[in-house]
Structure 1
Amino acid sequence: MDPDLDLRKIRYFVAVAELLHFGRAAERLHIAQPVLSRQIRALEKDLGAELLTRDSHGVRLTAAGTQLLEDSRHLLATAEAARRRVRGASRGPRRLVVGFRAGVVVTRALRAFSADHPDVGVEARRVEWDDQADLILDGTVDIAYVRPPVPERGLTLVPLFTETRVAMLPADHPLAGKPELASADLAGERRLRYSDAGPDDPQIRTIEEKFERVAAGYGITLVPRSVAEQYSRPDITYVPVTDAEPDQVFLAWAANRDSPLVAAFAQAAQAPS
């Protein structure tokens, strides 16, 4: 009979695989390096596969190790989500945490869900582009309204709606007074995006950080129309971009989660307004 996977060994492996150094991994884990080495060898024996190679060039992942690292992150996130839910259940009344991206209004769905489930505490929490999937998978939020890019692995994604996008420009920009724009009008502009900041640019996480950089003249960006409707500043102007690709909003929850509360909220969110 094959042994069950030991999550502690998996955590040890992930530390080594991410750092590619047994000494630094042992320091991160607060254990002795010989203990770490024995645990990795034991894991390899459990799995019947070599996960790491060590030679004069350092530590490297084998093909099996690369696959395990990919699977381990999802496995550990699932375990952490279960731990969070059990702890939450032990503290008292049932609770549902709903994540949402900037611009998305969740009030109608929250009210509809609460009307049918008055015994459930509901909390709305804003998520960002770089943590939206992680917060679902680790159980911090139970279900969330997300925008691309979002990884499909481990998640159930249900398309909710699309919305047009507008250009966010400094108020004194030459194009700021136009009634509408085409993408070609913005061809020479420096674009600010969340996920592809240059090596000399700080990573942009929030819509507020976009505001500051646009207002300061570092570049322009496209945002969903709902963001323009909810956020106004005297030093920022929004102009519709007629041929911009629409923004898609999805409802997302952990694919391995079978929760009546999550299902009920998903139904409320998809109900016609």
Structure 2
Amino acid sequence: MDLDLRKVRYFTAVAEQLHFGRAAESLHIAQPVLSRQVRALEKDLDATLLERDSHGVTLTPAGRQLLDDARQLLAAADATRRRVRRAARGPRRLVVGFRAGVVVTRALRVFGAAHPGVEVHARRVEWDDQERLILDGTVDLAYVRRPIDERGLTLVPLYTEERVAMLPAHHRLAGKQDLALADLAGERRLRYADPLPGDLPIRTVEEKFECVAGGAGITLVPTSVAEQYSRPDITYVPVRDAEPDQVFLAWAASRRAPLITDFARVARQV
């Protein structure tokens, strides 16, 4: 028997809230209807998903497994629905994601001039949601930086940038003409992903500014970030042996949209 996504969605609401009444209210259906649908799903799967008693609702091992799988299943179904609807409406809109520091203005203008009937929008993405926003159809394609989970994506390298140290204005190395990585040994580092012991994990470039200015640590950023963001309490110093930052254009490998191909061509040209 095929899995009924509506029943799965109903089960997920109960499993996340562990309360039939609140789940029914969030789904805008009657509680008895919700209960029947969940029992029908259990019958379909030949598995008990929820234990119900006077103390409330708990998940069985089978229920926990289904909840883990259901979240991915429902997200994939929603993404498929958005992509199909967009394809049915025709090529009237393109959303381009970009990371902090990446300037997309010229590419948008060149593309827009060649496609006057298409609405083109830019949306900021972060390191920890850049892949998700591409794969779920929120953005059609995006300028991304490493670290990148490449699964399900088509990646086109565009350019590299040198990286500079972001330091508080009063730092002992502020004012130097340039630095080597060895000069930064022992400094507490701010990192987006995979922080080492003693590093400070952060999410956005704005958090970098506040942490660096406050003396919590230092970090390396692409030169484009340094060019776009300036503050009197922060200074930038080139790091001559830092690994360059690579900017890619990325889109879902499953997408078959001529507009994406056209934009990618423009992005490589400009």
TM-score (norm 1): 0.77
Query: In the alignment, residue 69 of structure 2 is paired with which amino acid?
Result: L
Query: In the alignment, residue 147 of structure 1 is paired with which amino acid?
Result: R
1:80 and 1:138 in contact (8 A); partners too:
no
**Structure 1 counterpart of 2:155:** 157
CA distance in 2, matches of 1:184, 1:176: 15
2:200 and 2:217 in contact (8 A); partners too:
no
1:49 and 1:64 in contact (8 A); partners too:
no
Unmatched 5+ residue regions in structure 1?
A: none
Unmatched 5+ residue regions in structure 2?
A: none
Query: In the alignment, residue 65 of structure 1 is paired with which amino acid?
Result: L
Corresponding residue SS for 1:189:
coil
For the structure 1 residues 246 and 15, does the alpha-carbon distance in structure 2 shift closer, same or farther, using more than 3 Å as the test?
Answer: farther
**Structure 1 counterpart of 2:23:** 26
Q: Deviations over 1:137-191 (max 9, x none)?
A: 3332211111223333443333323322211100110011222222232222222
Query: In the alignment, residue 23 of structure 1 is paired with which amino acid?
Result: H
Q: Does 1:85 align with 2:86?
A: yes
Q: Does 1:175 align with 2:173?
A: yes
Q: Deviations over 1:34-65 (max 9, x none)?
A: 6545434544555x575847599942554963
Corresponding residue SS for 2:37:
helix
**Structure 1 counterpart of 2:59:** 59
Report the Cα offset of residue 265 of structure 1.
0.8
Give aligned-pair identity as a percent.
64
Corresponding residue SS for 1:102:
coil
Report the structure number with the largest CA radius of gyration: 2
CA distance in 2, matches of 1:55, 1:243: 61
1:164 and 1:247 in contact (8 A); partners too:
yes
**Structure 1 counterpart of 2:137:** 139
**Structure 2 counterpart of 1:95:** 93
Aligned pairs for 1:207-226 within 5 A: 207-226=205-224
Report the Cα offset of residue 98 of structure 1.
0.9
Q: Does 1:7 align with 2:5?
A: yes
CA distance in 1, matches of 2:221, 2:211: 14
CA distance in 1, matches of 2:185, 2:200: 23
**Structure 2 counterpart of 1:269:** 267
**Structure 2 counterpart of 1:228:** 226
For the structure 1 residues 172 and 248, does the alpha-carbon distance in structure 2 shift closer, same or farther, using more than 3 Å as the test?
Answer: same
Query: In the alignment, residue 23 of structure 2 is paired with which amino acid?
Result: A
| 6-15 vs 63-72, greater mean Cα deviation | 63-72
2:111 and 2:266 in contact (8 A); partners too:
yes
